[in-house]
Structure 1
Amino acid sequence: MDDILRRSLLDDRLPTIQVDDNAARILQLLTQLTRPQYVLEVGTLFGYSTIHLARGLPAGGRVTTLEIDEATAQVARRNLEAAGVSDRVDVVVGDALEYLADLPAEGFGLIFIDADKKSYPLYLRHCFPLLESGGLLIADDAFALGDYGTERDPNGDAELEAQGIHTFVRAVGRSPRLFSAFIGTESGLMISRKE
């Protein structure tokens, strides 16, 4: 994994906004424990979290990961190959909300969201119906103050991004169909189980 991080961050000059190592290990552990056949990831970047999700899959399991940028998706595909998990992962390039709108209900046992922050409430609206009963919905960057540092879009509105996270966290916390808990990783993971 060190080679993948070094190559992606230094050679490919991608931003250092991937999940931290502890969060990645938690994702892998949760995938191992829940054994979902199908995992959906919203936000691939260079595939660091994708690799951990794929490593946690049961036999025959698959990860579908969504990335908006083709060049970044190519880096992710290379990294998935290097990590030996490319046979378990489908990298889809395009607008995540458009893709999510066409998926069948309750098709995923685990969904991980780590994409543009202002869209978190929209991702929740689209992903909730896609999650199986008993499945896990996990969101990165869930710190209550919206403190996700380097992940802020320099061209975006930091207030809108923080508001998106706040809205997401409040919504999953109040939902009668989700049982949620916060895990204090570097940027915070909000983990919700669909009742």
Structure 2
Amino acid sequence: MTRSPAYLRSLLGPRDHVLDAVLRDALLNKKLPSIQIDDNGARMLQLLTMLHRPQLVVEVGTLFGYSAIHIARGLPPGGRLITIESDAEAARNARTYLDESGVGKRVEVVNADAVTYLETLRPESADMVFIDADKKAYPQYLKLCFPLLRSGGLLVADDVAPGGDFSGESEPGTDPEREAKAIATYVGAVARSNRLFSTFVGSAHGLLVSYKEGPGDA
């Protein structure tokens, strides 16, 4: 019998009261869009962070900080997260929720255009990068994040499952196929890279996890 990801996630127990409080306030009280990473994907991010023990993680797309909380929870001592959000109100909400979750001191929330900010970061300075922002810009994010990531680093992208619905994130009048084509371009580029070893993780919207090999490892 086939079991759904939601069913399998339910076997691991309910989310804790801190995460519940964040979701209730963000989605029910503030009526923010329900486009955050799903619980299973968020737990996978935390697990990857716990296993990889990165000193610096860069997140592209904060929203209200749900994924950032999980990443920050998995950081080793001295580790930090830089999360980039272009919307000022979303960035303010994220700062509040991160502080309330007890991980605010590990996280820098940057209110800026992601492309512009990524260009300012030092090459090979990040141990892990998580992309979950404007789907149309995924190919551009890859172009900027690949050199930012050190050899041995992890590159993770959300929403890569075929047939994804991005209508809740798109601007009015946007070609509904544009996001899907951009993500297909991202996945194709990752698959062709001789320095990225990748696998698909079956979360609700699909995570593509890639390990950056050194120049001599390919």
TM-score bracket, shorter-length normalisation: over 0.9
Query: SS at the partner of 1:18?
Result: coil
For structure 1, the residue ranges without an aligned partner over 5 or more in a row are: none
Residue 110 to residue 148, structure 1, CA distance change in 2 (3 Å): farther
What is the aligned partner in structure 1 of residue 170 from structure 2? 153
Note if contact 1:24-1:49 (Cα within 8 Å) is conserved in structure 2: yes
CA-to-partner distance for each residue in 1:132-164, whole Å, 9 max, x for gaps? Answer: 10100000000123x135544142222111111
1:172 aligns with 2:172: no
CA contact (8 A) 2:127 2:149 kept: yes
Query: Any conservation in 1 of the 2:167–2:176 contact (CA below 8 Å)?
Result: no
Aligned 8 A contact 1:17 1:150 in 2:
no
Matches within 5 A, 1:13-162: 13-145=31-163, 147-155=164-172, 156-162=174-180
- One-letter code aligned to 2:70: H
Instruction: Please say which structure displays the higher CA radius of gyration.
Output: 2
**Deviations 1:66-114 (Å, cap 9, x if unpaired)?**
0001111111011001100000000000100000011100011110000
- Give the TM-score of the pair, scaled to structure 1: 0.97
Report the residue type matching 2:28 in the other structure: L
Question: In the aligned structure 2, how far is the partner of 1:151 from the partner of 1:180?
Answer: 28
Which digits, 9 at most, give the CA deviation of each residue in 1:7-26, with x for residues without a partner? 01111111000000000000
TM-score, normalised to structure 2's length?
0.87
**Alignment partners' CA distance in 1, 2:139 and 2:168:** 17
Measure, in 2, the Cα distance between the counterparts of 1:149 and 1:71. Answer: 21
Range with bigger deviation, 152-161 or 183-192: 152-161
The code of the aligned residue for 1:165 comes to: I
Aligned mates of 2:56, 2:125 — CA distance in 1: 7
Hey, what does 2:11 align to over in structure 1? none
Farther off after superposition, 86-95 or 152-161: 152-161
Q: Which runs of 5+ in 2 are unaligned?
A: 1-18, 214-218
How many residue pairs get aligned? The number is 194
CA contact (8 A) 1:39 1:109 kept: yes
The C-alpha deviation readout for 1:33-84, integer Å capped at 9, x for no partner, is 0000000000000000000000000000000000001111111011001100
Q: What amino acid does structure 2 have at the position aligned with 1:95?
A: D
- Distance in structure 2 (CA, Å) of the matches to 1:49 and 1:12: 18
Query: Shift of the alpha carbon at 1:32?
Result: 0.3
* Percentage of pairs with the same residue: 56
Match of 1:163 in 2: 181
Structure 1: which amino acid aligns with 2:52? T
Structure 1 residues 96 and 8 mapped into 2: Cα distance closer, same or farther (>3 Å)? same
